[in-house]
Amino acid sequence: MATVARLRGDAFVEFIGHAMTLSVSPSDVRVETSVKLRVEGIPTHDCERIWRGGVDANAQVALLRTAEGSANPCRHCLYLIRTGSPKLVLAYRPFVALQPYAESGPIFLHAQPCAHYESNNVPPWFDHLDPAIVRGYSHDDWIRYDTGRVVRGRDITRACAAILEDASVAYVHVRSKYNCFLCRIDRC
């Protein structure tokens, strides 16, 4: 069965110093694909270390804060932390080994242990990402810049599946428009 994948190249990311502007055009992703996705939160053993008071990617203990607003995703259960609830703020590096492309950045976790997200689908709230960044990584964990796209939230699944049609791509990261890591997506 032939796969039809068409990504328009008129989405762009513009970096001006530390300011980043994202723009995504309508109908930027139209994909029919047979790739089945495995969507997971970050590994439970990483979170258990933090919940026990261990240090983060910067060798610092996570900060305890109160969630405010609706943009506090827990990267373990991939649910949004309710406003007014405690959250942990920490630096996380979503790669196993250190290498030049192993970026770390800020993430949130529920303050108390939660269930690990595992699904063939992204969480429904991803539809409201405005927009999101998706990009593939090679089998040596280097960024595949040619795969990077800025997409509307409801196009994330199709965009990730299209990237994973290429066997030389190992997995995909979904990141916020600010480049904060949200989750990794593999082939099922």
* Interface residues toward Zn ion, by CB under 5 A: 74, 76-77, 110, 114
Q: Minimum distance from CB of 71 to Zn ion (Å)?
A: 15
CA-based nearest residue to 70, from 88, 87, 82, 56: 82
Instruction: Dihedral sign for Cα 122, 26, 133, 143, please.
Output: positive
Would you say 87 or 158 has its CB closer to Zn ion? 87
Q: Residue 154 is encoded by which pair of tokens?
A: 């409801």
Closest CB 165 distance from Zn ion, rounded Å: 31
Of the two residues 51 and 137, which places its CB atom closer to Zn ion in the complex?
51
3-state secondary structure of 162: helix
Q: Say which DSSP state 75 is in.
A: T
Amino acid at 65: R
Nearest approach, Cβ of residue 74 and Zn ion (Å): 3
State which amino acid sits at residue 182: L
Residue 124 Cβ vs Zn ion, minimum distance, rounded to whole Å: 16
- Residue closer to Zn ion, measured from CB, 41 or 131: 41
Identify which of residues 18 and 52 has a Cβ nearer to Zn ion in the complex. 52
Contact in structure between 55 and 72 (CB atoms under 8 Å): no
Tell me how many degrees the CA angle 117-144-118 measures, rounded to the nearest 5. Answer: 10
Rounded Cα distance between 156 and 103, Å, is 21
Residue number with CB closer to Zn ion (109 or 164): 109
107 pairs with which residues across the strands?
A: 90
- Compute the least distance from the CB of residue 102 to Zn ion, in Å: 23
